Amino acid sequence: MAEIIVPELGESISEGTITKWFVKEGDSVNQGDVLLELETDKVNIEISADSSGVVSRIAKGDGEVVLVGEAIGSIGASAGGAAPAQAAAPAAAPAQPTAPAAAAQAAAPAAVQAPVAASAASVNASPAVRKLAREQGIDLTQAQSQAGRISSGDVLSSQGGQASAPAAPAAAAPTAQPQAVSGKPVERKRMSRRRATIANRLVEAQRTAAMLTTFNEVDMTAILDLRKRRKQSFFEKNDVNLGFMSFFTKAVVGALKAFPLLNAEIDGEDIVVKKFYDIGIAVSAKEGLVVPVVREADRLSFAEIEKSIGELASKARSNTLALSDLSGGSFTITNGGVFGSLLSTPILNTPQVGILGMHKIQIRPVAINDTEMANRPMMYIALSYDHRIVDGSEAVRFLVTVKNLLEDPEALLLEG
């Protein structure tokens, strides 16, 4: 008998949520077959079988929270061993609270579910469902289930009836209709684990960092002219388009070399200055913003940066990023301009102390000198920084350096 164990998920990740089992009890599997998908704070991970055999037990179902190192099922050596394992599953599963309750549920789970639910601790419900009940103020002993196990739908269905008729919640909400506020229809749904993590990290960044933002603008004429002249030959040689991100990445690296405190982080009372340039590129994915990292950007050519960003963005949108793709960045670039943003204040990607925001290129009249005006393609750029270790003058000069390098692309070959 081989246990299905939740593997190490990466630094700072101690738990995950089962998104979907791809097998069921009694299925035959080979070593390396994907058994289930696990959602963590950062990425979704597929857990594969370590040995061949028959899935004899599934102890944790879809939507349940599991811990690193926890046994969530088992694989038997043969089909013959599946039946005894399944018969013992109700007594052995971690979700069953007591031996008497487990024995009763094994005999007649649907019939004895209500008597067993003498207290919230004895209710047959997953940790995720218990958490939802606490958040909604629901008494699990009053939640009704037709399947012998309380689900999130059962909790939400009983929400409306407990205030007025706690003894008969099933009659109060027989169907899972949307909750209403002042008679108007609404839809309630749980945050995904990743969205909740993003929310917590953004609030933490604003709470723990002395965050300020400084702004400047860049005349993109030189870069647009260079891309126009070199676009075709660049693609023919490198099989990738010459975009804006490689210019900004190179400009950021050049500015970080001149102002190293923007490439640092705070560790207690220490300042850790990083001597490498792993640049995070914010990418909008279905489950929310993720920040994969372009490693050693200072050593990469324009083409290598464009290819790396393209590959990471593709993996982000297909939900195939690995934990190694997301960890260890030293500075972040985010581009709200692709969505039409003209100006914004980006939030720090902690523990980093700097993030550069790009915005939409807008044709605007610009004073060339005392007597001449011209329409130029202009972009506002924003630098948010942690004022605990970065002074305002340093932040301003960093952003001016980025601006100067972008307006003189040839300088990127020397400084970036």
Burial category of 145 from C-beta neighbours within 10 Å (exposed 0-12, middle 13-18, buried 19 and up): buried
Which candidate, 72, 57, 55, places its Cα nearest to that of 16?
72
Main-chain dihedrals φ then ψ at residue 64, nearest 5 degrees: -85, 150
Q: How far apart are CA 389 and CA 396, in angstroms?
A: 14
Q: Which residues of the chain have pLDDT under 50?
A: 79-118, 121, 161-176
278-328 confidence digits (pLDDT tens)? 999 998 877 677 899 999 999 999 999 999 999 998 888 887 888 788 888
In the three-class reduction of DSSP (H, G, I as helix; E, B as strand; rest coil), residue 126 is classed as: coil
Q: Does 359 participate in catalysis according to the annotation?
A: no
Which residues have a Cβ under 8 Å from the Cβ of 283 and sit 6 or more positions away?
Answer: 289, 290, 291, 292, 312, 313, 316, 317
Q: Are 346 and 382 in contact (CB under 8 A)?
A: yes
CB atoms closer than 10 angstroms to residue 307: 17
- Asked if 55 and 22 touch (Cβ cutoff 8 Å), the reply is no
Please provide residue 114's backbone torsions phi and psi, each rounded to the nearest 5 degrees: -65, -45
- The whole-number pLDDT of residue 117 equals 37
Q: How far apart are CA 155 and CA 145, in angstroms?
A: 9
Q: Which residues of 42-67 are buried (b: 16+ CB within 10 A; e: fewer)?
A: bbbbebebeeebbbbbbbbeebbbbe
Alpha carbons within 13 angstroms on the beta-carbon side of residue 84 total 6
- Catalytic position from the list 27, 33, 278, 391: 391
Supply the pLDDT for residue 227.
Answer: 92
Question: Burial code of 379-388, b = ≥16 C-beta within 10 A, e = fewer?
Answer: bbbbbbbbee
Burial call 82-110: b when 16+ CB within 10 Å, e when fewer = beebbeebbeebeebeeeebbebbeeebe
Task: Pick the catalytic residue from 41, 278, 298, 387.
Answer: 387
Rg (CA), the chain: 28
pLDDT value for 388: 94
Q: What DSSP string describes 186-216?
A: ----PPPHHHHHHHHHHHHHHHHS-EEEEEE
- Residue 296: what pLDDT? 94
The pTM assigned to this predicted structure is: 0.62
* pLDDT for the residue numbered 160: 53
